[in-house]
Structure 1
Amino acid sequence: MTRLRGGVNRSALLCLAAVLLAGGAALASVTAPVRDRLPSTVPRIGADRVWLDQELLGRWRDHGWWPPVVIAALAVGAVLFLCWSLAQLRSGRLRELPLGQPGVTLSATALAAAMTERARAVDGVARAHVRLLGRPRRLRARITLVLGPDASPEAVLDELARGAVAEARAAAAPRTLEADVRLTARRHRARRIH
């Protein structure tokens, strides 16, 4: 996920959370237990407040323009939400990389499988898994390594950077390839003494 889209997602969630929190606080201030505990300086909504009275409803019924406007606004909101959801789904796993000539592509799964095999060949690596994410112009490899009990993380990362990651960057050139490596250690099984 790019920084821009991550920032937009966080901003949208923050705005939604602020609106929901403000609305919940305003509605909670109507109830007697909450209203009695609030300081006198905090604005509150009266318990006898009427949100929609008969006169206001009658005035709204006289205008025939507002139902289509409300329905259109809700439809636009739903379409924008669907577009945003599809953009989130599209940013996931990469399918193929277009190469220099038109119609020639490299399968992203094949490149990920080759990187996985090269990562497994590194001394000290018990298991490896590679996923390619991002867009064709900017790739991100998520590499998960399970290290053996006696493996040195520094040596593994150094060999991985010089081997599998360098080869993948050369294959993906002129695109950039960022590598996100996650290391875990294989646990020893306790030996039982009989």
Structure 2
Amino acid sequence: MSRLRSSANRSTLVCAAAVLLGAGAVLASTTAPVRERIPAAWPRIGADRVWLDEEMLGRWRDHGWWTPVVIAGLAAGAVLFLGWALAQFRTGRLRELPLGQPGVTLSATALASVMADRARAVEGVARADVSLLGRPRRLRARITLVLDPDASPEAVLRELAGGTVAEARAAAAPRALEADVRLTTRPHRAPRIR
């Protein structure tokens, strides 16, 4: 997931949580047990409050502009929510990569499997997992490597970039292929002394 998309998701969740928390706090303050516990200086809402009485509703009906504004605002909110929801599903795992001729495709799973095999062959790599993400025009390979305890990360990255990633870019050409490499290390087991 890209940083922009991740930060947009977090911002959306924080805003929704703030609105729901604020609305819940306002509604909870109308009940007697909560009203007794909040400080006297804080604004309170009466338990018998009517949110929209007939007089207020009549005043709003006199203005013809508010109904289209409310409907347009709700429609815009619904369209934004649907666009956000569709964006979540649009950039997932890539299934097939179309090649130059119509009907000829390359399985993204096969390409990821070959990349993982080539990455495992790099000296110092204990385990490798590769998944291809994005769209056919813009590919992103997420490579997770587990290194041996004595492996040099710099040497592994240099060999990975010059071999595995370069071969995958040649296979995906003319499309761009970005590689996101995450390195972890296998824990070094101390020898047991008996």
State the TM-score, normalizing by the size of structure 1.
0.74
Aligned to 1:117, the other structure's residue is in SS state helix
Amino acid at match of 1:37: I
Partner of residue 18, structure 1 = 18
Q: 1:93 maps to what in 2? A: 93
Deviation at 1:131, TM superposition (A): 0.5
In 2, Cα distance between equivalents of 1:182 and 1:51: 54
Q: Which amino acid in the other structure matches residue 27 of structure 1?
A: L
CA-based RMSD: 3.2
Look up the match of 2:61. Answer: none
5+ residue gaps, structure 1, are: 60-69
Deviation of the 1:92 alpha carbon: 1.4
Q: Indicate how the Cα distance of structure 1 residues 148 and 6 shifts in structure 2: closer, same or farther if over 3 A, else same.
A: closer
More off after superposition, 169-178 vs 28-37? 28-37
Q: CA deviation at 1:83?
A: 6.7
User: Which secondary structure state, in structure 2, belongs to the residue aligned with residue 131 of structure 1?
Assistant: strand
Which amino acid in 1 is paired with 2:28? A
- Determine the structure 2 residue equivalent to 1:151: 151
Cα deviation code 1:147-180 (max 9, x no counterpart) = 1121111111111111111111122122221111
SS of equivalent residue, structure 2 residue 22 = helix
**2:183 — aligned with what?**
183
TM-fit CA distance, 1:113: 1.0
Cα gap change, 1:98/1:153 in structure 2, threshold over 3 Å: closer, same or farther? same
Residue 169 (structure 2) aligns with: 169
Cα offset, 1:21, TM superposition: 1.8
TM-fit CA distance, 1:136 = 0.8
Aligned length: 177
Matches within 5 A, 1:103-122: 103-122=103-122
Report the counterpart of residue 38 of structure 1 in structure 2: 39
1:8–1:149 CA distance, 2 compared to 1 (3 A) = closer
Looking at structure 1, the residues matched to 151 and 130 of structure 2 have their Cα atoms a distance apart, in angstroms, of: 19
- TM-score w.r.t. structure 2 length? 0.74
Question: Which moved further from structure 2: 106-115 or 28-37?
Answer: 28-37
- Which range moved further: 109-118 or 2-11? 2-11
Instruction: Report Cα offsets for 1:60-109 as digits up to 9, x if no partner.
Output: xxxxxxxxxx9xx89x95x9867754542342110011122222211111
Alpha-carbon distance in 1 for matches of 2:125, 2:50: 68
Report sequence identity in percent. Answer: 75
SS, match of residue 143 in structure 1: strand
- Where does structure 2 lack aligned partners over 5 or more consecutive residues? 59-70
